[in-house]
Amino acid sequence: MGAGWWGPIVSGAMSTSVAIAVITFRRPALLRGLLTSLQAQELPADSDYAIRIVVVDNDADGSAAAVLEEFGAGTPYPIQSVVEPEPGIPFAREKSVELCWNDDALIFVDDDETAPAGWLGKLLHAWESTGADVVTGPVKGNLPPGAPPWNHYSDVHDSTGKHTTGEELRKAYTNNTLVSRRVYHAVTPGFHPAFRYTGSSDLHFFLRVHRAGFRIVWCEEACIAEEVPVGRTTLHWLVRRAFRSGSGDTISRLLIRPGAISYVLVLAYASARVISAIGFALAGLLLGRKTHLLKAVRRFFSGVGSLAGIVGINHDEYRERHGSGHGPGPADGGGAVPGDLAGGDGPGAARVADQRRSPLADHPDARLP
């Protein structure tokens, strides 16, 4: 199926099958909230969608089972669940794709989110009306009580209003995004193990999706909510997240297009981020605008992260949660990404999975670009 196909894939009088894909790791209360909100979604009576939910538990102990048992027979949308024992977001995401391989589309959401009434219908309507290959929407964070004031001035937890409905984008993330089957059948394998603990495997995937010629559009109305933990309301977290985002962006682009030209481009991009940070800082100090100062902090450390990514350094944000000893560096991360590659000597040589495991989702290609 090529990138020129538009709209949902429907075979005759058959319903359009859409799977909502969730990966989770030891967050039972948040998972329960998400699943409750998904089961409460209503579609028009004349809609022709068959909706199901797929949960991949990335805990080898299967700790999500107790919550999943609460959503048995009688729920509006059936739930399929599996355990993916290999720790790391890319492996859990890839398992999601495998389980949704025959669905007409899958919707990625995170286990710390809740879907407000009408969210699903709006996302599906945007898919139908725009004919896009990928539809992505904003995430609005629910701050915890007592969150430091800077959180209210920053857009780090709120992506609403950044784009207009129908606007075409060059990238997306897996926190609120519908992906047509033709996309994940063509851009495969999807999620690179280089980002096992750092995040950004979704950025790398969607950059490749755009590069392959598929259309990514924004739907402002399909907003989903996210619960922001206390640990993500500190300036220390903001700095580390900005660094990780910048490094992940650089590593993604170098994996997609290795070579001298790409190194020059990412170096120019990183330098521009640092220079713009200085500009925002000066403007913030002169005009007394806290939003500008926060943008300065994010852009500066994003630029620093972009530079670090050139030599394969990233912040292993998710290593501590999994309690793994894989790769170099302390438990809270900071090691070079190549040490986390599953069997590769460097980013360009990374395989999609440990070679002792069977191929994922019957992917025809054993390596990423």
Q: What is the pLDDT of residues 131-148, one digit of tens each?
A: 999 999 999 999 999 999
Q: Examine residue 194 and state whether it is found in any structural domain, yes or no.
A: yes
Q: Give the least confident one: 119-128, 227-236, 324-333.
A: 324-333
The token pair at 335 is 């090691």
Q: Do 210 and 279 sit in the same domain of this protein?
A: no
Which pLDDT does position 72 carry in this prediction?
Answer: 82
pLDDT tens-digit map of 198-254: 889 999 999 999 999 999 999 999 999 999 999 999 999 999 999 999 999 999 999
Question: Residue 16 above 90 pLDDT?
Answer: yes
Q: Do 31 and 176 sit in the same domain of this protein?
A: yes
185-195: average pLDDT: 94
pLDDT band at 3 (very low <50, low <70, confident <90, very high): very low
CATH of the domain at 41: 3.90.550.10
Q: Do 156 and 261 sit in the same domain of this protein?
A: no
**DSSP letter (8 states) at residue 359:** P
102-107: average pLDDT: 98
Q: Examine residue 355 and state whether it is found in any structural domain, yes or no.
A: no
Which pLDDT does position 362 carry in this prediction?
Answer: 32
Instruction: Give the rounded percent of residues in the chain with a pLDDT score beyond 70.
Output: 81
Q: Do 176 and 256 sit in the same domain of this protein?
A: no
Which pLDDT does position 244 carry in this prediction?
Answer: 92
Q: Mean pLDDT of all residues in the chain? A: 84
Which pLDDT does position 357 carry in this prediction?
Answer: 38
Which pLDDT does position 147 carry in this prediction?
Answer: 95
Distance CA 245, CA 108 (A): 19
Q: Give the least confident one: 25-39, 79-93, 283-297, 306-320.
A: 306-320
pLDDT band at 275 (very low <50, low <70, confident <90, very high): very high
Q: Do 222 and 281 sit in the same domain of this protein?
A: no
Q: Do 224 and 286 sit in the same domain of this protein?
A: no
**DSSP letter (8 states) at residue 139:** E
Q: Do 253 and 195 sit in the same domain of this protein?
A: no
Instruction: Give the rounded percent of residues in the chain with a pLDDT score beyond 90.
Output: 74
Q: Do 165 and 243 sit in the same domain of this protein?
A: no
Range of the domain at 313: 237-317
Which pLDDT does position 73 carry in this prediction?
Answer: 81
Q: What are phi and psi of 8, to 5 degrees?
A: -60, 150
Which pLDDT does position 87 carry in this prediction?
Answer: 94
Q: Examine residue 106 and state whether it is found in any structural domain, yes or no.
A: yes
The answer, yes or no, to whether the previous bond of 189 is cis (omega within 30 of 0) is yes
Amino acid at site 326: H
Q: Do 283 and 300 sit in the same domain of this protein?
A: yes
Q: Report how many domains make up the chain.
A: 2
* E strand or H helix that includes residue 120: helix 119-130
Q: Examine residue 357 and state whether it is found in any structural domain, yes or no.
A: no
| Helix, strand, coil percent values for the chain (each to nearest 5) | 40, 15, 45
Question: Which distant-in-sequence residues (6+ apart) come within 8 Å of 245 by Cβ?
Answer: 200, 302, 305
Question: Which distant-in-sequence residues (6+ apart) come within 8 Å of 75 by Cβ?
Answer: 39
Torsion over CA: 95, 101, 103, 107 (sign): positive
* CA end-to-end distance (rounded Å), the chain: 20
Do 244 and 200 touch, CB atoms closer than 8 A? yes
Question: Residue 101 above 90 pLDDT?
Answer: yes
Q: How many residues does the chain have?
A: 369
Amino acid at site 12: G
Which pLDDT does position 313 carry in this prediction?
Answer: 77
Q: Do 126 and 254 sit in the same domain of this protein?
A: no
Which pLDDT does position 221 carry in this prediction?
Answer: 98
Q: Do 215 and 154 sit in the same domain of this protein?
A: yes
Q: Examine residue 333 and state whether it is found in any structural domain, yes or no.
A: no
Question: Residue 109 above 50 pLDDT?
Answer: yes
Do 268 and 290 touch, CB atoms closer than 8 A? no
pLDDT band at 90 (very low <50, low <70, confident <90, very high): very high
274-285: average pLDDT: 94
